[in-house]
Structure 1
Amino acid sequence: MIIFILLLSVIGFAFTFVLAKKSWQTGVGVVCGGIFILSLLLVTANFVSHFGMKKVVETQSIELVSSADGLDVLLYQPLGDGSEKVYLYQTPDTKELKPTDTDYVTNTVTEGTPPELVTEKSYWEYENDFYKLFFGIVNNNHEFIEAENTFNIPETWEVLSVDQMKEFGELAKERQASFKEAAQKEIQAKMMEAIQKDPSLATDKEKQQTMIDQWTVELQNQMMQDLLNEVK
């Protein structure tokens, strides 16, 4: 509507003030000129200061799964000097990693369970139907302002860059054979020590296997932690 008022006020000013021959035409022209200036000021206020609009926030929570196989991790890709990061996350319904946006977006990582991404997006919307009708032709309703992404991840998760994750995978593959050999020796030593303390274990194969499985998991976790400390 505001655009039509501007056009009509310009036309009215042209026909009644510029081409005025009578005093009443001059008066109407002055009024049309005033309407034009006022309308122009309102358009400027709407464009610059979002006059007639209010800020609304839409919140969305998305469940997260690890960004990589075999390790609970949230990946990111540093940009520029590394002060800005694009996080690469995955949900249970997707097979590909999703990057966070970069324009007017703030990313924060905090500890929390369950793992989820909470996104708060801010928009400008018109306060009521009158303002929407008045300025609606500008087509700026639901105009995006900014977004805040909060990644809530458990304490057991890691936050790694893409390069760190790549290095971790290469080191794990490279040291797999040596780890297996070292783990076997350590488990054998642990078993001999356990049998010395409890001779009945020598014939209890089921309990031996339970202990071996437990030690294997512990050694694997320790190896993974050592590799993570190395690449971080």
Structure 2
Amino acid sequence: MLIVLVLLSALLFVIITISTNQRSAGRNVATGVLLLVLICSIAGLFFNDNQQWGMKTVTTTTEKSLTSASNISGAKLLLYQPLGNGNEKIFIYKTDSQQKKVAHTTADIKTKTSVTKNNTKNAKLVTKTTRYVYRNGFYRFLFAGVGNNHTFKSRQQQFKVGSDWVVLSTTQAKQLQKQAKSSAAKMKAELTAAVKAKMTAAIKQNPQMTTEQQQALQKQYTTAAQQQAQQQVLAQLQKESLK
């Protein structure tokens, strides 16, 4: 409506001013009213655009489940790419273990991202998006054609992950992946030797063990050794995340 008033009042003001040479009370009143309508309409559009006059804010919240962004010895990882001096970060994440391409947060001044660690078992990304909408139908009619309904204001993204999650930069993750590959054979040999030593001691203590019992015990020792190795890797990851 205000756009129409601006165009119409400006057009009529020009027409009356040009077509009427003699000044009269009627002409002066008409041009004065048209000029006032023009100024008020432009002011209304200005304050709507700069001060969000006639608007209110509405916030919507969405939640997405999270899975590890990378696979390093079974650890749960949330990765980030530092920007500039490192204070700004783009977080890299996955919402599905079958997801081929990772997703990432946006980097702009209207978006704030944070990470919270707690005892939750189900990691998730909570996004709160705030937009400007018209207060009521009157303002919707008044600013028809402006096209600023549902204008984006701000976004808050919060990663809520368990205490067993590790937050690493992409550079740290790449370095650890290289280390894991280079030490994989050594770790496997150490696990095999440790399990073998325990089995030898167990058989020596109980020579009457059946084949089935030996197999079950070996499986138990192997699982325990793997868990211990994963804990060591996790401890290393936690150490890296604090740097």
TM-score, length of structure 2 as denominator length: 0.85
Query: In structure 1, how many angstroms separate the alpha carbons of the residues matched to 2:151 and 2:208?
Result: 71
Distance 1:164 1:144, change over 3 A: same
| In structure 2, distance between residues paired with 1:201 and 1:158 | 46
Q: CA RMSD, aligned part only? A: 2.3
2:24 aligned partner: 22
Structure 1 residues 110-149: aligned runs within 5 Å: 110-111=116-117, 112-149=120-157
Give the 3 Å change call, closer, same or farther, for CA 194–155 of structure 1 in structure 2: farther
* Farther-moved stretch of structure 1 (114-123 vs 5-14): 5-14
Seen in structure 2, the aligned counterparts of structure 1 residues 99 and 178 have a Cα distance that, compared at 3 Å, is same
Which residue of the partner structure matches residue 82 of structure 2? 78
Mean CA deviation greater in 207-216 or 11-20:
11-20
Are the counterparts in 2 of residues 167 and 231 from structure 1 also a CA contact under 8 Å? no
Aligned to 2:105: 100
Is the 8 Å Cα contact of residues 69 and 77 (structure 2) preserved in structure 1? yes
CA distance in 2 between partners of 1:148 and 1:212 (Å): 46
What's the counterpart of residue 50 of structure 1? 52
Query: 1:58, CA displacement in angstroms?
Result: 1.1
Is the 1:64–1:89 Cα contact (8 Å) retained in structure 2? yes
Indicate conservation of the 8 Å contact 1:53/1:125, yes or no.
Answer: yes
> Which amino acid letter does the alignment assign opposite residue 222 of structure 1?
Q
1:56–1:125 contact (8 Å) kept in structure 2: yes
Please, which moves more after superposition, 50-59 or 2-11? 2-11
What's the counterpart of residue 199 of structure 1?
206
Tell me, what secondary structure is at the counterpart of 1:86?
strand
Unmatched runs of 5 consecutive residues or more in structure 1: none
CA distance 1:147–1:229, shift in 2 (3 Å):
closer
1:5 to partner: Cα distance = 0.4
Deviates more, 1:28-37 or 1:88-97: 88-97
C-alpha contact (below 8 Å) 2:116/2:159 kept by paired residues: yes
CA contact (8 A) 1:17 1:26 kept: no
Q: Deviation string for 1:127-169 (max 9, x for gaps)?
A: 1122112113121111111110111112211111111111111
What is the match of residue 11 of structure 2?
11
Q: Residue type matched to 2:105 in 1?
A: T
Counterpart secondary structure, 2:35: helix
| 1:160 paired residue number | 168
Amino acid across the alignment from 2:124: E
Identity %: 29
- State TM-score, norm by structure 1: 0.89
1:109 corresponds to: 115
1:230: Cα distance to partner? 5.8
Corresponding residue pairs, total: 231
Q: Which residue of 1 aligns with 2:237?
A: 228
> Distance between the aligned counterparts of 1:229 and 1:153, measured in 2?
14
Distance of 2:81 and 2:42 partners within structure 1: 45
What's the CA shift for 1:227?
3.8
Which residue matches 2:228?
Answer: 219
Does the CA-based 8 Å contact 1:201-1:208 persist in structure 2?
no
Q: Which moved more, 1:93-102 or 1:210-219?
A: 210-219
State the SS of the aligned residue for 2:121: coil
- Partners of 2:69 and 2:6 in 1: how far apart? 54
Kept after mapping to 2: 8 A contact 1:9/1:35: yes
Highest relative contact order (Cα 8 Å, sep 6+), 1 or 2? Answer: 2
Q: Distance in 2 between matches of 1:167 and 1:88?
A: 17
CA deviation after TM superposition for structure 1 residue 43, in Å: 1.1
CA contact under 8 A between 1:75 and 1:159: conserved in structure 2?
yes
